[in-house]
Homo-oligomer: A and B are copies of this chain.
Amino acid sequence: MPARLARWLPCLTWAHGYNRHTAASDTLAAVIVTLMLIPQSLAYAMLAGLPPVTGLYASILPLIAYTLFGTSRALAVGPVAVVSLMTAAALTPLFAPGSAEYLGAAMLLAMLSGAILLGMALLRLGFLANFLSHPVISGFISASGLLIALGQLKHVLGLNISGDTALLLVPALVKALPTVHWPTAAIGLSSLAFLFAVRSHLAPLLRALGMPHALAGNLARLGPVLALIGAVAAVQWGQLVDAGVHVVGAIPQGLPSLALPAWDASLALTLLPAAILISLVGFVESVSVAQTLAARHRQRIDPNQELVALGSANVAAALGGGFPVTGGFARSVVNYDAGARTPLAGALTALGITITVLFFTPLFHNLPHAVLAATIIVAVLSLVDLKALVRTWRYSRQDGLAMAGTIGGVLLLGVEAGILIGVGLSLLLFLWRTSQPHMAVVGQMPGSEHFRNIARHNVIQSPTVLSVRVDESLYFPNARYLEDQIVALVEAHPATRHLVLMCSGVNLIDASALTSLEAIAARLATADIQLHLSEVKGPVMDQLQRTDFLKQLNGEVFLCQYDALRSLDPDSTARALQAGRAST
């Protein structure tokens, strides 16, 4: 029973044995992550179209939920860029950003997303996330990064434009360029320059000055905090609010009251597709980060328990006035590097954010939107990896096409359309590919019992036995193709008396393919050719034995291709073994 309980509450495993030493490590990590999380939370709330303070709210309860239920020791959950963008994409067509209805819908979206993740955990549907292939996820994140950066440029330059696709944003930006608000642009562009400089030069500089490697890296990650402080100071001293620079303004002090989001069945139904996509994307992103970090310390994470943890985190976000959250890449790495030993570091981070909400929000009054937008741009551009498209295309045209489709879809049609196009394309291209499987006529390798493609290897072929290896499961998309190809092969080899289908690559024969095999057998029988099978795998054989096919077959089923040839044309196998001896 304790083992079972521990599976559902992984915190029990690490709570046992928690000591002063681990506590010190966790506390240090929490302080650093809190400092990093404050600007990120404010910025991603703005990206999601919500009041900045909701970003802080979304960084309290979800972290505690993940501490209780999560299996990764370093994952830091909270608002992340891509999920915030997806939240904005789902809600902007329905309500005015920043309005009470918009905020309520964001909480409902978090609740739905949490319920979906918990439902997936219960029904063990975590495998659904696998349908987001690596190229689709990679393309999606790159394109979202570009789209987010484009969208934030208006805050950096103080432009008043709107649009949620690259197709709308680029011309709007160009057209609005003459109306740049210079005080805003001064803050925004200098923040951008500062953040890029810190990102690429600060850590090497500190290391050159003799600072330890990890500490230098972590300090460099706090660039956004420095930018925030500098910007607030500049606004205050320069009285830039009067000059028209948009700032965060008054933030309600104190914690949000716990409340369920208002239930609206028709709104929930409208938000459901977005909630499903947010859940899947958030889950895949978070699990990838957690697995990467776990692998470094030979720990393992349990994907199903991660569904429980992320589901709880989103329900907690909904209860605490937040919006959809998931595990973030950059801050998890910082958490890990700063020495987080247990998920308690997350709870301590939540404590840090709570203290911030209780006491320090007045400090953010004069925080300009431009600097928040600049931190977003620098963060998301580091996620953009367009070279991956070239690499993927070079490896496989199909994967490259799915990735290009995702990128194009996100940029031109938006995030939801983009990811659906990506998933649809990867499935269709796979099906198209398997509908015309590779087939090879095989012969025996000299001096071996192994059979390979006659077009690639110097092999010995029997004149009367045609051996064909089908490199695909036989199922409905290729059942008819198989018939056509076999007929054509037999016509091209008129001396054939036996056809052996080598089934080492056949992992499934479905009902449609069975019908085709029966048709092939009947057709070969009229031409006086025997049909044999070889290397049929256990599970496939089990299925065939439940039908009449094997009884009606005029040939045999051989355990391996060598046995088939030794039985049907012993001369040929003897020659092949002889040829091997002669050549060695």
Partner-B contacts on A (CB < 8 A): 127, 130-136, 295, 298, 300, 303, 392, 394-396, 398-399, 426-427, 430-438, 440, 445, 448-450, 452-453, 456, 471-473, 475-481, 487, 504-508, 510-512, 514-515, 519, 522-523, 526, 535, 537-539, 543, 546-547, 559-560, 562-563
- Residues B449 and A130 in contact, CB atoms below 8 Å apart: no
- Residues B438 and A537 in contact, CB atoms below 8 Å apart: yes
- Residues B134 and A512 in contact, CB atoms below 8 Å apart: yes
- Residues B511 and A399 in contact, CB atoms below 8 Å apart: yes
- Residues A295 and B507 in contact, CB atoms below 8 Å apart: no
- Residues A436 and B508 in contact, CB atoms below 8 Å apart: no
Q: How many whole Å from A557's CB to the nearest CB in chain B?
A: 14
Contacts of A133 in B (CB 8 A): 475-476, 479, 510-512
Q: How many whole Å from A391's CB to the nearest CB in chain B?
A: 8
Known A-B contacts A130-B479, A130-B481, A295-B519; A437 and B512 likewise in contact (beta carbons under 8 Å): no
Q: How far is the CA of A543 from the CA of B562 in the complex (A)?
A: 28
Q: How far is the CA of A478 from the CA of B430 in the complex (A)?
A: 13
Q: How many whole Å from A129's CB to the nearest CB in chain B?
A: 8
With a 10 A CB-CB cut-off, give which of A445, A504, A526, A546 has the most chain B CB atoms. Answer: A504
Known A-B contacts A427-B431, A476-B131; A471 and B510 likewise in contact (beta carbons under 8 Å): no
- Residues A543 and B504 in contact, CB atoms below 8 Å apart: no
Dominant secondary structure at the A interface? helix
Query: 24 A–B contact pairs at CB < 8 A?
Result: A130-B435, A130-B476, A130-B478, A131-B476, A133-B475, A133-B476, A134-B479, A134-B511, A134-B512, A134-B515, A295-B522, A392-B511, A394-B546, A395-B543, A396-B543, A434-B508, A440-B537, A449-B449, A471-B539, A472-B507, A473-B473, A473-B507, A504-B504, A505-B507
Q: How far is the CA of A431 from the CA of B511 in the complex (A)?
A: 16
Contacts of A522 in B (CB 8 A): 295
Closest residue of chain B to A437 (Cβ to Cβ) is: B507
Q: How many whole Å from A419's CB to the nearest CB in chain B?
A: 14
Closest residue of chain B to A475 (Cβ to Cβ) is: B430
- Residues B487 and A300 in contact, CB atoms below 8 Å apart: yes
Q: How far is the CA of A396 from the CA of B472 in the complex (A)?
A: 18
Closest residue of chain B to A506 (Cβ to Cβ) is: B505
Contact of A559 among B452, B523, B526, B546 (CB under 8 A): B452
- Residues A481 and B512 in contact, CB atoms below 8 Å apart: no
Contacts of A476 in B (CB 8 A): 130-134, 136, 426
Known A-B contacts A127-B436, A300-B487, A477-B130; A450 and B510 likewise in contact (beta carbons under 8 Å): no
- Residues A131 and B477 in contact, CB atoms below 8 Å apart: yes
Q: How many whole Å from A148's CB to the nearest CB in chain B?
A: 24
Contacts of A546 in B (CB 8 A): 394-395
Closest residue of chain B to A440 (Cβ to Cβ) is: B538
Contacts of A303 in B (CB 8 A): 480
Q: How far is the CA of A522 from the CA of B392 in the complex (A)?
A: 20
Known A-B contacts A130-B480, A431-B427; A135 and B511 likewise in contact (beta carbons under 8 Å): yes
- Residues B523 and A562 in contact, CB atoms below 8 Å apart: no
Contacts of A295 in B (CB 8 A): 519, 522-523
Given A133-B510, A295-B519, A295-B522, 16 extra CB contacts under 8 A: A127-B436, A130-B481, A131-B477, A132-B476, A133-B479, A133-B512, A396-B510, A398-B510, A399-B511, A434-B508, A440-B538, A445-B560, A448-B563, A450-B560, A456-B538, A505-B537
Contacts of A452 in B (CB 8 A): 559
Known A-B contacts A559-B450, A562-B448; A135 and B507 likewise in contact (beta carbons under 8 Å): no
- Residues A507 and B130 in contact, CB atoms below 8 Å apart: no
- Residues B131 and A431 in contact, CB atoms below 8 Å apart: yes
With a 10 A CB-CB cut-off, give which of A431, A476, A522 has the most chain B CB atoms. Answer: A476
Contacts of A131 in B (CB 8 A): 431, 476-477
Q: How far is the CA of A445 from the CA of B480 in the complex (A)?
A: 35
Known A-B contacts A526-B298, A560-B450; A435 and B511 likewise in contact (beta carbons under 8 Å): no
Top 7 closest A-B pairs, CB basis? Answer: A133-B476, A134-B512, A399-B511, A504-B504, A450-B560, A449-B449, A471-B507
Contacts of A431 in B (CB 8 A): 131, 427
Q: How far is the CA of A174 from the CA of B436 in the complex (A)?
A: 50
Q: How far is the CA of A114 from the CA of B447 in the complex (A)?
A: 58
Closest residue of chain B to A292 (Cβ to Cβ) is: B519
Contact of A538 among B298, B394, B453, B514 (CB under 8 A): B453
Q: How many whole Å from A292's CB to the nearest CB in chain B?
A: 9
Q: How far is the CA of A131 from the CA of B512 in the complex (A)?
A: 10
